Structure 1
Amino acid sequence: MGKATDALQNIRGLIPVPMIMKIIEGKVDQLWAVEGGRDRYVEAMEFVVGRTERAAEVEDLARKYAVQQALRNYMRYKPRQITRQPVRDIEWLTSKRDPSRPMILSFFHHHRYDGMFASLKRAGADLTILVIEEGLDKDAFKVLRQHMRVVARGGRLIPAAGGTDAVVAALQPGVVLCIASDVPGRTPVDFLGRKVLGSFGAARAATLANAPVACVTSHQDGRGGSYLQVHEPLEPNDFADPGDLLAEILRIQGEAVLAWPEALDFPLQRFGRPDA
């Protein structure tokens, strides 16, 4: 069964993108025709935009989200295409950075985030990437192994273990450490008008290590393509406390997500819920 599954996954890399879209659209049509088939997609988009000015678009966004989720499963087998994303303002990670200080690069699991790191590397960034421990297991599922192969094209991988102390220890001079900012935690935060539970680790580590935080976000270019935007780094000392820094990180990331909500990967898994 495992070999058959691996073979099926590998076939995805051989299918041309136009054909992939036809396959996906057909599958989504079938899903939408089944009673309850769209429910989880509607729930995901309601969670993202239901408290925003885009709340009326939930039904339309749900279908787009279903397409994006399916497309992501195919595109990870086309690393050449997703690791060449255009990058704007890479200078914040290269020539405009103080090499004697560490830096945190905040990202969300948004659009082709797996190919984001290699795209930044191609533009000149030298990255260290914090990843889940399971991703470094050679016996992990084929999909996860393929995902990690793509991520590994962008820099050095270190496991997310040991908490804040381990993150601070990794923030050595010159290191640019990539940390996801849409992960469940125990810290109450506001995200797109909703109270959720987020992770305090990156903001606290940035403050303890005096490491600037640069956000990288994904955007549509208006011509059917996309690009990555590197934002001006946030200085921890400019904020009253790590909580205020975290709020600003989520504000920047939230604006990008609100502009392209259907591209957020598994929204219901990205934050904890206070009422859960």
Structure 2
Amino acid sequence: MKPSTELRIGRVRGAVPRALLPALVRTRTALAWSQVKVRDDAREQMRFVLEHTRPDADLDAAARAYVERQAWRGELRWHLDLVTDQRVEGLEHLLAARDRGRGVVLSHMHHGQFEGAMASIGRRGVQLHAMGDPRLLTPDAPGWMQQHAKVAQSQGAVPVLSTAGTEAMLGILGDGGVLTIASDVPGRTPMRFLGRELIGSFGAVRLAVATGAQVVAMTSELHDGPLPVVRLHEPLDPVDFPSAQKLLETLLATHEPPIVRWPELYDIPTSHWSLPAATPTAQENDG
């Protein structure tokens, strides 16, 4: 089967010398920002993150930074040598949790260059089992999606399809494996995040409580240069929490500050959460 046009173009993009990437990203950012629909969407995405957490933030500046970061995201995924070599801080926390032999739930959000973050951890000798959408591995998936999966698996990560079922995930953790799972995916659990009442997923916490696995949060920061810095936080042990709800709250409180500090790194944040159904008014309740 011939590679799609998008894949062929992507391979050409991957051949662009790294010294030219900043100029290419600046050009792509300027072209994108000139479009009204792009500016409006970027403001919507940044408003979702900042409206209740940093109400005094310059929304236009954040939106422009978000468009630039999306341009970087689109280029870096084709530069395997770069995106899989992000700096990793706190690796010792993940190693300590893994070495306890009870399995590790590596919780991340769609923040930073997260597929490259997984590969960057793999590059340092930690095999991950990466939870993902089945569409990532289909030959007719969009080229960017296929490349996203290629990056995540490039350093030995084992794909685990979300359709595999709970038993497969429990088995990985029961065998002492490290299972990466996004904590900002559609679900049915009410929670408070980014100063909002939202509906999200209880999956990472549920798996940890069921198996006794440690939970390690993986977050991203932006310092010097285009590559995010990956930070692995101290393990959270389910036995140290009076309830699964308290563990969830602590996990969300770990993920939130980097997202609020670097909102431009969050990839389409409005797509990862649902809003609670509106409460009926008294008149509606009365019929």
Same fold (TM over 0.5): yes
The alpha carbon displacement at 1:36 in A equals 4.3
Aligned with 1:249 (options 248, 251, 254):
251
Q: Distance in 2 between matches of 1:52 and 1:92?
A: 28
The alpha carbon displacement at 1:19 in A equals 3.0
Going from structure 1 to structure 2, the CA distance change for 1:96 and 1:4 (only over 3 Å counts) comes to closer
Residue 187 of structure 2 aligns to a residue in which SS? strand
Whether the 8 Å contact between 2:113 and 2:228 is mirrored in structure 1 is no
The alpha carbon displacement at 1:99 in A equals 4.2
Q: Distance in 1 between matches of 2:238 and 2:231?
A: 21
Q: Which residue of 1 aligns with 2:282?
A: none
- Identify which range, 102-111 or 168-177, moves more after superposition: 168-177
Q: Distance in 2 between matches of 1:35 and 1:85?
A: 33
Whether the 8 Å contact between 2:49 and 2:269 is mirrored in structure 1 is yes
RMSD: 2.2
Q: Which residue of 1 aligns with 2:281?
A: none
Residue 235 of structure 2 aligns to a residue in which SS? coil
Residue 93 of structure 2 aligns to a residue in which SS? helix
Q: Distance in 2 between matches of 1:2 and 1:119?
A: 26
Q: How does 1:89-108 map to 2 (within 5 A)?
A: 89-95=90-96, 97-108=98-109
Going from structure 1 to structure 2, the CA distance change for 1:36 and 1:146 (only over 3 Å counts) comes to closer
Q: Which residue of 2 aligns with 1:266?
A: 268
Q: How does 1:38-187 map to 2 (within 5 A)?
A: 38-53=39-54, 55-95=56-96, 97-154=98-155, 155-187=157-189
**Identity over aligned residues, as a percent?**
33
Whether the 8 Å contact between 1:192 and 1:254 is mirrored in structure 2 is yes
Q: Which residue of 2 aligns with 1:205?
A: 207
Going from structure 1 to structure 2, the CA distance change for 1:29 and 1:110 (only over 3 Å counts) comes to same
Q: Distance in 1 between matches of 2:129 and 2:111?
A: 19
Going from structure 1 to structure 2, the CA distance change for 1:240 and 1:165 (only over 3 Å counts) comes to farther
Whether the 8 Å contact between 1:117 and 1:153 is mirrored in structure 2 is no
Q: Which stretches in structure 2 are left out of the alignment for 5+ residues? A: 279-287
Q: Distance in 2 between matches of 1:261 and 1:133?
A: 28
Runs of 4+ in 1 over 6 A off after TM superposition: none
Q: Distance in 2 between matches of 1:31 and 1:112?
A: 20
Q: Distance in 2 between matches of 1:149 and 1:201?
A: 24
Going from structure 1 to structure 2, the CA distance change for 1:99 and 1:138 (only over 3 Å counts) comes to farther
What is the letter of the counterpart of residue 184 of structure 1?
Answer: P
Q: Which structure: larger Rg?
A: 2
Whether the 8 Å contact between 1:94 and 1:124 is mirrored in structure 2 is no
The alpha carbon displacement at 1:4 in A equals 3.0
Residue 161 of structure 1 aligns to a residue in which SS? helix
Q: How does 1:231-242 map to 2 (within 5 A)?
A: 231-242=233-244
Q: Distance in 2 between matches of 1:159 and 1:62?
A: 33
